[in-house]
Amino acid sequence: MRRWIDERIDIASIRETLVDRKVPGGLTWWHTLGSATLAVFTVQVVTGIVLGMYYAPSPDHAYDSIRYLEHNVMSGALLRGVHHWGASAMVVLVLAHMIRVFSMGAYKYPRELNWVLGVVLLFIVLGFSFTGYLLPWDQKAYWATQVGTNIAGTAPLIGGALVKLLRGGTQLGAATLTRFYALHVLLFPVLLGFFALLHLVQVIRQGIAPRTAVLDAEPPPRTDDPAYASYYHDRYARSKRAGVRFWPDIIAKDLVVATLVIVVLVLLAHFSGAGLEAPADPTDTTYVPLPEWYFLPFFQLLKLVPGSLESVVAVGVPAALVLVLLALPFFDRRSMRSLRHRPAAAITMGVTLAGVALLLGAAFRSEPPTAVATEVGRPLSSIERAGRAMYKARNCGACHALGDQKPDTSADTPNAPDLTEVGLRHSAAWMHSFMEDPARFHPNSKMPSVGPPKLTHEEIEEITRYLASLRGPNWATAKQEFYDTFPEPVKRTERP
Ligand code: HEC
């Protein structure tokens, strides 16, 4: 059986290239960051597929489908939390991996192209994050994407076209959501899978970069020196002969770190889920949008520059970053790899990291406190907030109990129903009609009518939306069951 399979797919040579090979010794724990990123990507694919089974990519249903997943699907909140934190972990691990490769000079000869592939992978990961952020279609998602696409719009010449392309129109709406969804679940996974595979194949073919000391022993000064290639291959072959086995020496370390990362993700998801704000409300211009935390340094930088320079920085900084990262291995051809022999590189890296840390710190300090009213299990939307204010202004609480607020029994008030769970008993349409003219429903109703001219239809609708959101203390599990009874329709006078 074994021979039969072996003759057909040649397991021996697969073993030889993937498992039985030798790699240079003395690799650090920092060398596990790349494989840890791959492990988290696998987690993202698996959790993403399950999320995709519940998600409905339309503005009418996206929010509710996420809410359903959070409250009604077993482990749904945990699953979404892992996917949420996994996205952050991808960015952190990719950046840490890049810092490791940079500080060990591993992007130098002969790994220049693999560095370029890595930069491409970084931007695909950021693309994943940007498109994924919109999908829950809550306030945070909507307004952060509004700001993000606005930034793209400040690009010279192509700005307008770019915004249209991203949004699928001039406004952020249904076309944007389906567009981002398609990018997030179709295009980016294929791109990331493809480039990650190329990246890995290169790592396997070229071998892992050895310790810096191995290659820093009196090399020709530059990597484009004709003598450098033979120097490199000679040193590499020697360190490989004296090295360790890929399996189990390297793989075991990788597995330890990957397991650790996944455990941390599950713990984070368990103790702090992905969160869901009020449904997206395009009319609520008071909302202060915040991007995902790893975009915060960039946002903070934009806040610091004067308005006239903002569009230059908004487009210039990311563009410069891409160019510098792509050009780095072709521009820096000195052969020394250890940071100790590269003072300019060490200082550049130190200053960049310190600057980003300072910006991130400043962004966290200036973050506005988010007022979260959880009386309905989630923050209220702006229409619902307006409705709650109107409810107070019209003194509905004089007769009705609502949550902790008890009716005013000292006055001569009728025995009115408790509204704590009214959203479970009545549809919004019914409540609107009822409040407009209660006597039409119950001829002896003690409930005062609020129909025009007392309140406009917009105002009644605001109260209605507020009341419809009230699901009582068991909002998470309570099921709606409407008892809407409508009066006999007004008889139309027969026309001849
Ligand atoms: C004078 C007392 C009184 C005030 C003030 C009052 N209501 Fe009522 N409301 C009632 C009574 C009594 C009922 C019971 C139904 C009936 O008699 O028709 C009722 C019924 C309702 C219902 C239907 C509840 C159910 O479960 O059937 C809603 C919704 C409602 N009121 C909303 C409001 C709102 C909103 C306000 C403020 C604009 C308000 N009410 C002010 C007395 C009052």
Residues with Cβ within 8 Å of residue 32, at least 6 apart in sequence: 253, 254, 256, 257, 258
In sequence order, what E strands does 11-99 have?
A: 22-23
Query: How does the average pLDDT of the chain come out, rounded?
Result: 89
Residues with Cβ within 8 Å of residue 298, at least 6 apart in sequence: 317, 318, 359
| One domain for residues 95 and 178 | yes
| One domain for residues 29 and 77 | yes
| One domain for residues 20 and 169 | yes
- pLDDT, position 100: 95
Residue 370: is its pLDDT beyond 60? no
Is residue 156 assigned to a domain? yes
- pLDDT, position 484: 87
In sequence order, what E strands does 118-262 have?
A: 244-245
Q: Provide the CATH number for the domain around residue 396.
A: 1.10.760.10
Percent of the chain clearing pLDDT 90 (strictly above): 55
Residues with Cβ within 8 Å of residue 258, at least 6 apart in sequence: 32, 35, 36, 39
Distance 422 CA to ligand 1 centre (A): 11
| One domain for residues 175 and 223 | yes
| One domain for residues 404 and 270 | no
Q: The whole model's pTM is what?
A: 0.72
Is residue 372 assigned to a domain? no
**Residues 89-115: tens digit of each pLDDT:** 999 999 999 999 999 999 999 999 999
| One domain for residues 163 and 42 | yes
Distance 424 CA to ligand 1 centre (A): 16
Is residue 376 assigned to a domain? no
Q: Provide the CATH number for the domain around residue 211.
A: 1.20.810.10
C-alpha distances out from residue 106 to 39, 121, 210, 348, Å: 22, 17, 8, 17
- pLDDT, position 277: 87
Return the structure tokens found at 68.
């359903």
- Integer Cα distance of 358 and 432 in angstroms: 52
- Integer Cα distance of 64 and 456 in angstroms: 29
Residue 51: is its pLDDT beyond 50? yes
Is residue 279 assigned to a domain? yes
Residue found by looking up tokens 């090295």 in the block: 243
By most ligand atoms within 8 Å of CB, the mutation choice from 440, 447, 457, 459 for ligand 1 is 447
| One domain for residues 137 and 235 | yes
Q: Which of 366, 393, 417 is at the close of a domain? A: 366
- Give the residue whose CA is nearest to atom 17 of ligand 1: 445
C-alpha distances out from residue 53 to 50, 63, 69, 136, Å: 5, 14, 10, 14
| One domain for residues 424 and 293 | no
**Residues 183-194: tens digit of each pLDDT:** 999 999 999 999
**Residues 324-333: tens digit of each pLDDT:** 999 999 999 9
Nearest CA among 200, 231, 204 for reference residue 218: 231
Q: Give me the domain span that covers residue 387.
A: 382-468
Q: Which of 64-68, 229-233, 307-311, 314-318 has the lowest mean pLDDT?
A: 307-311
Sign of CA dihedral 431, 432, 438, 442: negative
Is residue 490 assigned to a domain? no
- Integer Cα distance of 314 and 408 in angstroms: 56
Are the CB atoms for 380 and 469 separated by under 8 Å? yes
- pLDDT, position 368: 56
**Residues 389-447: tens digit of each pLDDT:** 899 888 898 889 888 788 887 767 778 899 988 998 999 999 999 999 998 888 888 89
| One domain for residues 330 and 387 | no
| One domain for residues 359 and 407 | no
Residue 285: is its pLDDT beyond 80? no
Is residue 484 assigned to a domain? no
Return the structure tokens found at 347.
């200082």
Is residue 129 assigned to a domain? yes
Total structural domains within the chain:
2
The residue that leads in pLDDT, 90 or 378, is 90
Distance 384 CA to ligand 1 centre (A): 18
Nearest CA among 276, 296, 266 for reference residue 86: 266
| One domain for residues 27 and 86 | yes
| One domain for residues 362 and 420 | no
Residue 375: is its pLDDT beyond 60? no
Residue 372: is its pLDDT beyond 60? no
- pLDDT, position 278: 85
Are the CB atoms for 471 and 420 separated by under 8 Å? no
CB under 6 Å to ligand 1: residues? Answer: 391, 394, 396, 398-400, 413-414, 416-417, 422, 425, 431, 434-435, 438, 442, 445-448, 450, 463, 467
- pLDDT, position 371: 41
- pLDDT, position 408: 80
